[in-house]
Amino acid sequence: MNENGLVSAGEDGSEKIVPNGKDYGAADRRKDSKTNLVYSVDDAVNKVGYGKFQLRLTFLAGLGWLADAFEIFVLSVIGEFMACDWTLFRWQIALLTSIVFAGIMVGSPVLGAVADVYGRKRSLAVSSLLLFLFGAVSAASPSFVWMVIFRSCMGFSLGGIAQGVTLNSEYCPTNVRGKAGFFICYFWSFGSLGVVLLMWLVMEFIGSWRILLLFVSVPCLIVVLSLKWYPESARYYLVSDQRDRAVEILNTMAKMNCQELPSGELTKVGLDIKRGRLQDLLGKGYRRTSLLFWYIWFATAFGYFGIALLSPLIIQKGNLVADDTNGTFMQGMNDPVPCATFTRQNYLDMLWTSAAEFPGLIVFTFLVEHVRRKLLLSVACVASSFSIILLLMKTHKIVILLFLFVARALLCAIFQLNYIMTSEAYPTTIRAVGMGAGTAFCRLGGLIVPYIAQVLVIEQPVIAICLLGGLVFLAGVAAVFLPFETKGIDMKESHSG
């Protein structure tokens, strides 16, 4: 602490003085110019601790993650189910997946900017309502073209769901912020298991992919109905000249947790700062951080969704290497896709490979508060890249499934670690748009990877797997060069100064 301002980490790791009125993320209370005690939002959150308020918010944000998982994981098989009614080619299956990620890539920064300018809760409301509407209406698509249109709009809507993580992180005490972020990811993994069970039940007893898509949209409806219990971000209120509302929601948090706020008044923040501007992510203070995070987001999604899309193929066939010298066992991209015929054992295999995410999450939930974030991210990326490469081995199916298990566990944990670190790295005035931009690059990876995991792998499995593993390995290298460590830091309110 400096009498003229706060000591804050810059991108070069050095300490700099940030003038009062610009950055109020300090853990220590101080006196204003009139010698009255003031406290920051971090002071309030750290004093009140992690209690009922945060648990409820984690559950609500987790519901959004559950809905997201349902809509994303159904993409790995829905095309093959649709092939029972329509004549589809492999490239169309890849297009259907890519168009969803293209929608998310556009929606993420747009809805992120909305969250910074108009509030986290409003962005979530728009996102979840549109997600339910377009997800449900896609079940009635009269043709493949209409399916592509509806799913692209659904993808745009998915772009705002990540703001639940932003909102949750803004109310978590510094010492458990990482752990709380991983709590949300458990809902994602439950969603990946739930959609497999749903596919099994619907396709086994009803046999209609339209009914399947209708049921998949139900979690989105639950999110819409739960919106009234979402609090708005106190940090957003503070930087948007709604200080009284910020105090009100902090008082609500303290009462729910049976605690008291720090003595004094909530600090004031300079209001001359523009919020939610994409260009500020590339300003002098955050350029290096943004560029590195964007690549890490891209590579992580490329690896994670690539493995998710490959999982049904590996489960059905046992490995990625052909048994003869004439090519692979998979179809050419211009051949019609056959109607999906998943056996009971196939569904069981998908369930336990999806369950692979839980061991990784449990381990990372512990490690995230005991190991430096940068080191954890880097080592996990390198380890997962080797697990991906090992999928090329020609060995027993159970061994290949074990490598798939490990790769998926690590990549899921890396994915959530990206969300946690991104929310910690940016200040309130650009935190949501920073999350949105990172998610956009994430979905860019998801947009491209179907042509690798569903098309290129048909003729060149070695090249496809090496691309997946190589990009994730480089993400581990990029993590080393992130400008500063985010573990244990206070959240800044403004990017100025």
pLDDT tens track for 198-209:
999 998 899 899
Averaged pLDDT, 11-33:
42
What pLDDT does residue 434 have? 87
Determine the Cα–Cα distance for residues 69 and 237; give it in Å rounded to an integer.
30
Mean pLDDT score of the chain? 84
pLDDT tens track for 456-487:
877 788 898 999 999 999 999 999 999 888 88
Taking residue 459's Cβ as centre, other Cβ atoms within 10 Å add up to 13
The burial of 14, by beta-carbon neighbours within 10 Å (0-12 exposed, 13-18 middle, 19 or more buried), is given as exposed
Determine the Cα–Cα distance for residues 224 and 129; give it in Å rounded to an integer.
6
Beta strands at 265-266 and 37-39: parallel, antiparallel or unpaired: parallel
Determine the Cα–Cα distance for residues 130 and 151; give it in Å rounded to an integer.
11
Beta strands at 30-31 and 15-19: parallel, antiparallel or unpaired: unpaired
Averaged pLDDT, 179-192:
89
DSSP E strand stretches across 187-319: 265-266
pLDDT tens track for 29-43:
445 444 468 888 889
Q: Which of the four pLDDT bands, split at 50, 70 and 90, describes residue 8?
A: very low
- Asked if pLDDT for residue 176 goes beyond 70, the answer is yes
Determine the Cα–Cα distance for residues 454 and 313; give it in Å rounded to an integer.
9
Determine the Cα–Cα distance for residues 291 and 259; give it in Å rounded to an integer.
40
- Kind plus residue range of the DSSP H or E element containing 304: helix 287-317
pLDDT tens track for 378-387:
999 999 999 9
What pLDDT does residue 11 have? 52
Q: Which domains does the chain have, with CATH numbers?
A: 39-272 (1.20.1250.20), 276-325+340-490 (1.20.1250.20)
